[in-house]
């Protein structure tokens, strides 16, 4: 249960019973917001065990202009403000009618150790060089050696290490640009953030990618949007030119596949990049011709795949940030669509289903089930609100957001890898 007190004028709103438990908090709140908000009521929890305060009213100025000061002032007093639209009494579409919830306490900034970032980066450099060497041909490796023996052979042979550098530099360059796009956008908006954490993996692609951690809540949807889109856009600035350069230096031939070979998937961008470069659709179903990706092409393709996965409109992924900043609660339509699409693509990738329905191997990939599980571990498919959930994106950011969604469509790969 909650008790509500209508308070005109402001000072009369704090009567003796109210002041006993929440007078100090209320006076603090009214002192901070009074000049920017026409307060209509204050709601307090009953019993007063939950240390929060709810102030309803109408903003006198745009929330983007006043909330940064509110956040600073409340934090100084030991409180955290949350600003929401007032959805009662048919006010859901009026951004000036708001509810301000004031919670006791301030979320502490998480601590980080940059030596961990450096150590992970160094290990990831080696793991990507290792995969780059394995991806090359005629590099003089012992075909009967185990993985640890191969690692030692590569580590102690400078000539082999050099052969893995083009792949490693290309892939890590794209991932580093992506993560530092987030990093510098966060620093620009004065949001505390860690350095990138790179995730090494000595097989597959050589890395599981990289991420940064925000040390504090994002104040509003505009800052959330800027931080979210900065990473993919920065990565694409490198990935797209490197893809075209790699294709221009790759060969087209009829491949001789060995047991366990994998065929990379096509996105719209990758398909037309090959068509532009070679003048034919690849793989060519009539001639059997296909591009033999060199190390730079392969690394750029991975970089675009990682970018596409990050742009899935789910949870705390870059795409989740983008659609939530654009549409607020309306982003759940994108969240459910993405979940449903991944589920259907995963089912279409099951061997039992493909055996019954021919042709599904071109559109289905069972790996989407892994991503559905991973999304749950990353906080679920839905995005939490920002502290200021009232401030909406300006037109320039909206158009950029629509462009980012279009980019996702262009680089998304329904079947990233297919066994031959």
Stretch 409-414: mean pLDDT: 96
Name the token pair of 385. Answer: 């609100």
User: Model confidence at 394, in pLDDT bands (50, 70, 90)?
Assistant: very high
Q: Where are the beta strands (DSSP E) in 9-112?
A: 37-45, 52-59, 79-85, 97-104
Lookup: tokens for 402? 């629509």
Per-residue model confidence as pLDDT tens digits over 327-384: 998 999 999 999 999 999 999 999 898 888 887 878 889 999 999 999 988 889 999 9
Q: Which of the pair, 377 or 410, is modelled with greater confidence? A: 410
pLDDT band at residue 89 under the 50/70/90 scheme = low
How far is residue 202's CA from residue 215's CA, in Å, rounded to a whole number? 29
pLDDT of residue 196: 95
Predicted local confidence at residue 94, as pLDDT = 61
Most confident of 235-244, 253-262, 363-372: 235-244
Question: What token pair was written down for 309?
Answer: 């996965």
Chain segment 270-311, per-residue pLDDT in tens: 999 999 999 999 988 888 899 999 999 999 999 999 999 999
Percent of the chain scoring above 90 in pLDDT: 56
Lowest mean pLDDT among 37-41, 137-141, 163-167, 265-269: 137-141
Q: Is pLDDT above 90 for 167?
A: yes
Element (H, E) at 2: strand 2-6
In this structure, are residues 230 and 321 in contact, taking their beta carbons and an 8 Å threshold?
A: no
Q: Is the pLDDT of residue 146 over 80?
A: no
In 190-307, which ranges are E strands? 197-200, 207-211, 251-253, 262-264, 290-292
Nearest one of 318, 150, 298 to 228, comparing CA atoms: 318
- Written as six digits, the tokens of 128 are 């990507």
Cα 31 to chain centroid, rounded: 38
E strands of 119-266, at which residues? 197-200, 207-211, 251-253, 262-264
Supply the angle between the helices 268-278 and 395-411 in degrees, to the nearest 10.
70
Tokens representing 237 are 């600035």
Q: Which CATH class is domain 2-104?
A: alpha beta
How far apart, in whole angstroms, are the C-alpha atoms of residue 150 and residue 130? Answer: 9
What average pLDDT does the segment 33-38 reach? 90
Enumerate residues 6+ apart whose C-beta is below 8 A from 58. 37, 38, 40, 96, 97, 98
Q: How would you label 378-402 residue by residue, b for 16+ Cβ within 10 Å and e otherwise?
A: eeebbbebbbbbbbbbeeebeebbe
For the ranges 132-146, 181-195, 277-291, the lowest mean pLDDT is seen at 132-146
307 contacts 236 by C-beta, under 8 angstroms: yes
**Where residue 3 falls among pLDDT bands split at 50, 70, 90?**
very low
pLDDT at position 10, please?
A: 40
3-class secondary structure, 195: coil
pLDDT for the residue numbered 239: 97
Q: For residue 258, is pLDDT > 80?
A: no
Predicted pLDDT at 53: 83
Rounded to two decimals, the pTM is 0.87
Phi, psi of 289 (to 5 degrees): -70, 145
pLDDT at 182: 97
- Average confidence score pLDDT of the chain: 86
What is the average pLDDT across 71-78?
A: 91
Show Cβ contacts of residue 162 under 8 Å, excluding neighbours closer than 6 positions.
none
Q: Write down the domain spans for the chain.
A: 2-104, 108-227
* Alpha carbon 302 to its chain's center: 16
Instruction: Report pLDDT digits (tens) over 92-105.
Output: 556 688 999 888 88
Q: What percent of the chain has pLDDT over 70?
A: 86
Contact indicator for 28, 78 with CB cutoff of 8 Å? no
CB 224 within 8 A of CB 392: no
Q: What is the pLDDT at residue 93?
A: 58
Task: Specify the DSSP element, H or E, that contains 419.
Answer: strand 417-419
What mean pLDDT do residues 183-196 have? 95
15 or 157, which is more confident: 157
Instruction: Count H helices and E strands in the chain, helices first.
Output: 13, 11
């Amino acid at each position: 249960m909650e008790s509500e007190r209508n308070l005109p004028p402001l000072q009369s709103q704090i009567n003796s019973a109210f002041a006993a438990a929440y007078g100090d908090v209320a006076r603090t709140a009214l002192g901070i917001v009074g000049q920017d908000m026409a307060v209509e009521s204050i709601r307090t929890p009953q019993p007063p065990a939950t240390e929060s305060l709810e102030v309803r009213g109408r903003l006198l100025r745009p929330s983007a202009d006043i909330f940064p000061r509110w956040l600073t002032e409340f934090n100084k007093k030991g409180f955290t403000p949350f600003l929401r639209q007032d959805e009662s009494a048919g006010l859901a579409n009026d951004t000036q009618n708001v509810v301000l919830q004031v919670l006791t306490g301030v979320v502490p900034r998480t601590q980080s150790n940059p030596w961990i970032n450096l150590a992970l980066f160094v290990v990831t450099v080696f793991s990507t060089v290792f995969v780059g060497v394995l991806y090359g041909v005629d590099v003089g490796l012992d075909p009967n050696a185990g993985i640890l023996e191969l690692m030692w052979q590569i580590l102690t042979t400078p000539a082999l290490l050099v052969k893995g550098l083009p792949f490693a530099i290309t892939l890590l360059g794209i991932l580093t640009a992506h993560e530092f796009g987030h990093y510098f956008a966060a620093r620009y908006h004065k949001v505390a953030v860690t350095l990138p954490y790179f995730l090494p993996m000595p097989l597959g692609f050589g890395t599981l990618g990289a991420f940064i951690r925000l040390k504090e809540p994002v104040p509003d949807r505009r800052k959330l949007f800027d931080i979210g889109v900065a990473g993919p856009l920065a990565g694409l600035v490198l990935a797209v030119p490197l893809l075209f350069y790699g294709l221009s230096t790759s060969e087209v031939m009829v491949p001789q596949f060995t047991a366990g070979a994998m065929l990379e998937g096509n996105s719209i961008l990758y398909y037309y990049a090959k068509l532009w470069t070679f003048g034919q659709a690849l793989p060519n179903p009539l001639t059997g011709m296909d591009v033999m990706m060199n190390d730079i092409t392969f690394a750029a393709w991975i970089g675009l795949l990682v970018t596409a996965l990050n742009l899935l409109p789910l949870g705390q992924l870059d795409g989740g940030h983008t659609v939530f900043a654009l549409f607020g609660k309306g982003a759940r339509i994108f969240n459910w669509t993405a979940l449903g699409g991944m589920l259907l693509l995963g089912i279409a990738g099951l061997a039992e289903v493909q055996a019954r329905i021919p042709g599904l191997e071109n559109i289905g990939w069972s790996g989407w089930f892994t991503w559905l599980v991973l999304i749950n571990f990353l906080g679920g498919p839905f995005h939490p609100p920002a502290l200021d959930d009232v401030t909406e994106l300006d037109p320039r950011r909206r158009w950029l957001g629509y462009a980012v969604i279009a980019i996702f469509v262009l680089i998304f790969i329904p079947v990233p890898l297919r066994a031959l």
